[in-house]
Amino acid sequence: MFGRDGYLYGVTTSPPAFPIAFRINTSGDSYSVVARFYNTGLGTPEKGLVLASDGILYGVATLGVYFISPVSGFHPLYFFNTPTDGAGTDALIQAADGNLYGANYSGPGNTGTVFRVALDGTFQKILNLSGATTGTSPNALLRASDGDLWGTTLLSSGGGAGGKIYRVTTDGALLDSTFLTTAGTGIQPAAPLIQGTDGKLYGTTSAYGRLANGQFASGTIFVVDAGLTSSLTSIAVTAPNTSIANGTSQQFTATGTYGDNSVADLTAQVEWHSSVPGVATFGAGTGLASAVATGWTEITASLNGVTSNAFVMTVTAPTPPVLTAYRVLFGSQSYTVTGSARKRLPWQITGIQVVFSKPIATGSVTSLGGVTATALSGLGTDTLTWTVPPLSLGAFVTSLSGRGANVLQDAQGSPLAAGAGFSQDLKVLLGDFNDDGVVSSADLVGVNNAIVVPYNVMADITGDGAVNAADVQLVRTRIGTSQP
């Protein structure tokens, strides 16, 4: 058994008078005897050791239970009262309650017992075995995924006397038992059961059927489908990004794969770990990682002794949102022109839309360079739209302030362009140039492509504060022809 100090520990049973416990490193160049069993009162050590949750190795001998501490060495833990406790025959196991459990040979009626011993040496026999109910001559126990103890016995009375499989609670209540048969499962198991990752129990027997000469044939490998859940075999941790900005968060997902090849979302069940908590931390049971400092960390998840892959996440310094696109939105409102005199008509500009490099979570700029917005939509996305009334201006400036109460910020509180404002000059050609009674983008297209007839200039095109011949001349120059 591999100890937590990095050494391998084991026991020997021969020569019979001098059984020992020993320690050896993995390269084989450091070997030492930990203890000699003669004169300990423990008898001869039996199969195997178990590494308990306290980091100490425990074993059973014919006359008692002992432990080996990497710090304090070898010590007896409990001496069997063999007439009632039985004699040790096989390795111990540790159950979920932290206690050690074992099955002894002999005891009352020379049949066997199942016992519990705490790590402090408190001993309790929990079940007497019998040939009819559980079988006799027990092997080591198995703690299955249902929390119960499963055992095998070499012999039994009735049913072919080939041994049994039995199940008992940690309090000693016998739940059920099954005879092993020569024609079905094989008989006389000499080893404990193991549980596969598919949840089923597997075992071996030493004999099966009978040959023509009356001798038993070779043994078998058998399976018991007790309806137990399959074991978790692996966990895969995934996330959308390998790099996030400081002050942001990222949702991680843990997907478990089981021995029967089924998968399940374990995000809320696993224990999440960040190798560098100073860079990223987790909320309990959520899988949501919060970046708290720049650097990198490995994200893992664990459950039932299974640990996931390591997901390396880098936390970078946050970048403020910047403006990436500016749009003027046109509506479809119609304006009616009455009488013969031309009127100064408003544009159908209904909104100013700005696209940012990241979602804008807070802020509200309501005044765009003197143009009062009537509504703002799109907070929480990267595209904000300000609704404006029809404009009767020949030119205006939109500005988005990065400071003050109306500051536009992303989810991490970073202001637009790190606090720098944004402005955009917009000069509109105000006039119904195609004479359709509305001022719209069609008028701009008409002027730019010199296809407008007649020419109806009703705006200060030159920007000198008056509508006069200079404006007409400028339009004529643009379209390369003369007024009719």
Check whether 339 has a pLDDT greater than 80.
no
pLDDT digits (tens, 9 = 90+) for 397-413: 777 765 666 788 888 78
Please give the Cα distance from 56 to 292 (Å, whole number).
39
Segments of 164-251 assigned E as strands: 164-168, 174-179, 194-195, 201-204, 208-210, 216-217, 221-224, 232-238, 243-245, 249-251
pLDDT digits (tens, 9 = 90+) for 152-165: 999 998 766 789 99
Instruction: Based on the fold, state whether residues 422 and 455 are members of the same structural domain.
Output: no
Any idea what the CATH number is for the domain that residue 291 is in?
Answer: 2.60.40.1080
Any idea what the CATH number is for the domain that residue 99 is in?
Answer: 2.120.10.30
pLDDT digits (tens, 9 = 90+) for 317-336: 988 888 888 888 877 655 55
Output the six-digit token pair for 119: 């790590």
Which residue from 116, 155, 160, 117 is spatially nearest to 138, judged by alpha carbons? 155
Q: Residue 2 falls within a domain, yes or no?
A: no
- Across 118-147, b (16+ Cβ under 10 Å) vs e yields ebeeebebbbbbbbebbbbbbbbbbbbebe
Check whether 352 has a pLDDT greater than 50.
yes
Check whether 186 has a pLDDT greater than 50.
yes
pLDDT digits (tens, 9 = 90+) for 65-122: 999 998 899 999 999 999 999 999 999 999 989 999 999 998 888 889 999 999 999 9
Instruction: Based on the fold, state whether residues 103 and 250 are members of the same structural domain.
Output: no
Q: Residue 218 falls within a domain, yes or no?
A: no
pLDDT digits (tens, 9 = 90+) for 258-272: 988 899 999 999 999
Q: What is the pLDDT of residue 445?
A: 67
Q: What is the pLDDT of residue 340?
A: 45
pLDDT digits (tens, 9 = 90+) for 428-463: 555 666 666 666 667 666 666 655 455 555 555 666
pTM to 2 decimal places? 0.59
Instruction: Based on the fold, state whether residues 24 and 138 are members of the same structural domain.
Output: yes
The domain in which residue 478 lies consists of 429-484
Check whether 171 has a pLDDT greater than 90.
yes
Check whether 240 has a pLDDT greater than 70.
yes
Any idea what the CATH number is for the domain that residue 413 is in?
Answer: 2.60.40
Q: What is the pLDDT of residue 134?
A: 94
Q: Residue 360 falls within a domain, yes or no?
A: yes
Instruction: Based on the fold, state whether residues 384 and 252 are members of the same structural domain.
Output: no
Instruction: Based on the fold, state whether residues 180 and 267 are members of the same structural domain.
Output: no
Instruction: Based on the fold, state whether residues 47 and 141 are members of the same structural domain.
Output: yes
pLDDT grade, residue 302 (50/70/90)?
A: very high
Domain boundary among 195, 212, 244: 195
Output the six-digit token pair for 393: 């201006």
Q: Residue 16 falls within a domain, yes or no?
A: yes
Sign of CA dihedral 46, 50, 54, 56: positive
User: Of all helices (H) and strands (E), which one includes residue 396?
Assistant: strand 395-400
Quote the mean pLDDT of the chain: 84
DSSP 37-54: -TTSS--SEEEEEEE-TT
User: Of all helices (H) and strands (E), which one includes residue 398?
Assistant: strand 395-400
Domain boundary among 293, 316, 339: 316
pLDDT grade, residue 466 (50/70/90)?
A: low
| pLDDT (mean) for 167-193 | 92
pLDDT grade, residue 341 (50/70/90)?
A: very low
Check whether 424 has a pLDDT greater than 80.
no
pLDDT grade, residue 482 (50/70/90)?
A: very low
Q: What is the pLDDT of residue 159?
A: 67
Instruction: Based on the fold, state whether residues 449 and 379 are members of the same structural domain.
Output: no
| pLDDT (mean) for 372-396 | 84
Q: Residue 204 falls within a domain, yes or no?
A: no
Please give the Cα distance from 86 to 105 (Å, whole number).
5
Domain boundary among 389, 406, 427: 427
Instruction: Based on the fold, state whether residues 263 and 116 are members of the same structural domain.
Output: no
Q: Residue 442 falls within a domain, yes or no?
A: yes
| pLDDT (mean) for 29-48 | 91
Instruction: Based on the fold, state whether residues 117 and 251 are members of the same structural domain.
Output: no
Please give the Cα distance from 270 to 282 (Å, whole number).
12
Q: Which residue has the higher pLDDT, 304 or 444?
A: 304
In the chain, the percentage of residues whose pLDDT exceeds 90 is: 52
Q: Residue 216 falls within a domain, yes or no?
A: no
Instruction: Based on the fold, state whether residues 435 and 383 are members of the same structural domain.
Output: no
Q: Residue 89 falls within a domain, yes or no?
A: yes
Number of domains into which the chain is organized:
4
Instruction: Based on the fold, state whether residues 68 and 173 are members of the same structural domain.
Output: yes
Instruction: Based on the fold, state whether residues 54 and 155 are members of the same structural domain.
Output: yes
